Structure 1
Amino acid sequence: MITIHHLNKSRSTRVIWLLEELNMPYNIVNHERDSQTGLAPESLKKIHPLAKAPIIVDNDVTLCESGAIMEYILNQASNDTLRPKIDSAQYYQYLEWLHFAEGSLSLPIICSLLMSMETRDGNKPLDGYIAKELQLDFSYIDDTLSQRTYFADGAFSAADIMMTIILDIADNLSLLENRTHIKAYLVNMKQRPAYQKAASFG
């Protein structure tokens, strides 16, 4: 059985959500952020040298990084319904968005989050870069969602799980103003029972 090392207020919610969608059994070990600094606790370092969530342990396999974990779980699933067939037109749409979430989108969003946590006096050198990247990324996403319900075109997939969690962070930072298609997408995703179960873990 897969063990999820879950950090509160983190992207490890993705892993719980995926396992819930697949009806796969799992154990959760909860780790709490430091109440003063908001940083991950030392307990995560005992599981993986990077001390970042999510981390899963499955027998002799210990994995960090959301995308790698999603692929590992899908490879273990008896009913792999959350990843298009590799010979389908949707497969590479799925693959692009699965990696886009952490590869392109997370950097400017997390930078915005970190900057919101500090006292700032005037513009900083990275502000223009971050604003440009957010505009580019959100325009691409909003346009895509104006044409389809899910990122892998016709069906919900693990790419939607990857994208929803980082887009929700953006929404909580008020970065999605006037992004009507993204906003509607998030409402739709949050109605899924598996999402609601995962979100209940905090």
Structure 2
Amino acid sequence: MAIVVHHLNNSRSQRVLWLLEELGLDYDIVRYQRDPVTMLAPESLRRIHPLGKSPVVTDDDLVLAESGAIVDYLVDRYGNDRLAPSRGTPEYLRYNYWLHYAEGSAMPPLLLKLIFQRVGSAKAPFFVRPIARAIAAKVTESFIDPQLKLHLDYLESELGKHPWFVGESFGGADIQMSFPIEAAAAGRSPLTQRPRLTDWLNRIHARPAYRRALERGGPYDFAGD
């Protein structure tokens, strides 16, 4: 077994390091740095996967991309019945739902928020700048912020049913959900009016495996420290 995480700073790959620490697996890290201007991953990641995005994990000859697929693979292969419910159960359906929801539903409004913030602050000719800022503000106010509120309220409600996203036990769904919730907490969608999400975030940040992953991965702006 030779697991390698192609780790981009301040990215979704941090939760893959965390998962590997929770599973107690040995792994190596190949580090990549974002372009300080564009914040994009370097071209060198394309040598590992054609899309050039992180996370990418190699396990011997197998190359895996997409966070949800990576979490599902690692837990299924190496979990030994930890971090996921048994397949075929209602709990597993819920677990699988959160693996997909994190990127399919939670992340798009957060990404749109970031994009339109950049549109509003981007350099432009003086006669274009007010128009760009007005459009960005309108889209944010009328669509993005209501969507963020909708999702954060939904997550707050779901955590009112159980302490973790799949019932009474911490698992891979919580690891997968960490990035969108951390990103929301770090942006202009504070969790101060959502005590269950805040408590959940504090509990995952206190986990020893999470702290070990930070030590291995390096600076991570969303850790809340």
TM over 0.5: yes
Residues 24-43 of structure 1: pairs in structure 2 closer than 5 A:
24-43=25-44
User: Does 2:199 align with 1:184?
Assistant: yes
CA distance in 1, matches of 2:74, 2:161: 29
The equivalent position to 2:133 in structure 1, one of 121, 125, 143, is: 121
Q: 2:162 aligns with which of 148, 151, 156?
A: 148
Contact 1:176 1:183 (C-alpha < 8 Å) held by counterparts: no
Cα deviation, residue 2, structure 1? 0.8
Separation of aligned partners in 1, 2:21 and 2:144: 34
Using the alignment, how far apart are the partners of 1:80 and 1:51 within structure 2?
32
Calculate the aligned-residue CA RMSD, in Å. Answer: 1.6
Higher helix share: 2
CA distance in 1: counterparts of 2:75 and 2:188, whole angstroms: 32
What's 1:165 paired with?
A: 179
**Number of aligned residues:** 202
Letter in 2 for 1:136: L
Using structure 2 for the length normalisation, give the TM-score. 0.84
Greater Rg, structure 1 or structure 2? 2
2:69 counterpart residue number: 68
Equivalent of 2:147 in 117, 126, 133: 133
Q: Deviations over 1:33-52 (max 9, x none)?
A: 11222111011011101001
Q: Using a 3 Å threshold, how does the CA distance of structure 1 residues 193 and 129 change in structure 2: closer, same or farther?
A: same
1:28 partner amino acid: I
Residues 1:82 and 2:72 are matched in the alignment: no
Q: Is the 8 A contact 1:176 1:182 kept in 2?
A: no
Runs of 4+ in 1 over 4 A off after TM superposition: none
Corresponding residue number in structure 1 for 2:210: 195
In the alignment, what sits opposite 1:15? 16
| Aligned equivalents of 2:36, 2:186: Cα separation in 1 | 19
Aligned residue in 1 for 2:51: 50
Per the alignment, residue 124 of structure 2 pairs with: none
> Separation in 1 of the partners of 2:117 and 2:185?
14
Give the distance between the partners of 1:150 and 1:74, measured in 2 at CA.
17
| CA distance in structure 2 between the partners assigned to 1:195 and 1:145 by the alignment | 20
2: CA distance, partners of 1:78 / 1:134: 33
One-letter identity of the residue aligned with 2:204: M
Distance 1:45 1:38 in 2: 16
Name the stretch that deviates more: 171-180 or 111-120: 111-120
Q: Distance in 1 between matches of 2:78 and 2:154?
A: 31
Which structure 2 segments of 5+ residues have no match? 122-131, 220-225
Offset, 1:89: 3.3
Matched-pair identity in %: 38
Unaligned runs of 5+ in 1: none
TM-score of the pair, normalised by structure 1: 0.93
